[in-house]
Chain A
Amino acid sequence: AQKITQTQPGMFVQEKEAVTLDCTYDTSDPSYGLFWYKQPSSGEMIFLIYQGSYDQQNATEGRYSLNFQKARKSANLVISASQLGDSAMYFCAMRERGTNAGKSTFGDGTTLTVKP
């Protein structure tokens, strides 16, 4: 069964520093996609970055990068040069191509607090 594990309930980072949010996943499907979303206190889920299981390079989107280690089944999010507006809940999610195609499985999230 597909499963996402985020082991850090809460993280703190100093403004302008980098932070890594951990995500490990479990799937038996060889083809899948990994996603990170940001959920501010307003509640809306904001898409940040995507990594396909067959992508050779780690995904990057501005200050966000995904450290994809397929053999270890990990997909950590790295936020560089943290800003106060980065304070939010962050969710890792996975979608498969097989019998579970369509639905996303989410972790329980990590609350990030950026300190001034």
Chain B
Amino acid sequence: GAGVSQTPSNKVTEKGKYVELRCDPISGHTALYWYRQSLGQGPEFLIYFQGTGAADDSGLPNDRFFAVRPEGSVSTLKIQRTERGDSAVYLCASSRGGDTDTQYFGPGTRLTVL
């Protein structure tokens, strides 16, 4: 497909477990972003990649959260020792790479921590 894809669409896990969320951006987009959206709120910035490197990870809430983009395309958001407060929809977006270029979002992964 031509859009941003995310897998899985839903993930249910138990408190304390490790999870990985995957994002496949639009082909040719050099910039990739992760956001977290809680119910009734707007998306909250987590991390931004330009190519393979994290250009800004200031939104990661703590060191349990980590993201990689080893080949400059697919990215994985990793959450260690999950907590119930991590439950949210995790959105990925990509853009061509300019500072104010439009970000195109994927369908999101709904994470539920029991």
Query: Does A associate with B in a complex?
Result: yes
Stretch at the interface among A12-20, A66-74, A97-105: A97-105
From B15-23, B36-44, B63-71, B74-82, give the one contacting chain A. B36-44
Chain B CB within 10 Å, residue with most, of A33, A93, A102, A104 = A102
Return the chain A residue nearest B103 by Cβ: A104
Q: By the criterion CB–CB under 8 Å, are A43 and B108 in contact?
A: yes
CB distance from A100 to the nearest CB of B (A): 8
Residue of B nearest to A50 (CB): B102
Interface footprint category on B:
20 to 34
Is B56 in contact with A43, judged by CB distance below 8 angstroms?
A: no
A108 x B42 contact (CB < 8 A): yes
B12 at the binding interface (Cβ < 8 Å): no
Contacts of A105 on B, CB cut-off 8 Å? 45
Instruction: Mark each residue of chain B from 25 to 51: 1 if its CB lies under 8 Å from any CB of chain A, else 0.
Output: 000000101010000111111001010
B80 to chain A, nearest CB (A): 23
Q: How far is the CA of A52 from the CA of B99 in the complex (A)?
A: 11
Which residue of B has the minimal Cβ distance to A107?
B42
**Given B33, B35, B102, B110, which contacts A35 in the complex, CB threshold below 8 Å?**
B102
Q: Is the interface on chain A under 10, 10 to 19, 20 to 34, or 35 or more residues?
A: 20 to 34
* Pairwise interchain contact A43-B43, C-beta atoms closer than 8 A: no
Q: Are B43 and A106 in contact (CB under 8 A)?
A: yes
**Contact (Cβ within 8 A) A103 B42:** no
Nearest Cβ on chain A to B84's Cβ, whole angstroms: 21
In the bound assembly, the distance between CA atoms of A96 and B41 in angstroms comes to: 21
- Hey, what's the 0/1 contact readout for B78-114 against A, CB within 8 Å counting as 1? 0000000000010101000001101111111010000
Residues of A within 8 Å of B58, CB to CB, are 103
Which chain A positions have C-beta within 8 A of B41? 108-109
Question: Which A positions have Cβ atoms within 8 angstroms of B?
Answer: 4, 31-33, 35, 37, 42-47, 50, 52, 91, 93, 95-97, 100-109
Given contacts A31-B99, A102-B31, 12 further A-B contacts (CB under 8 A): A31-B100, A37-B105, A43-B107, A44-B106, A44-B108, A45-B105, A97-B100, A103-B58, A104-B45, A106-B44, A107-B42, A109-B41
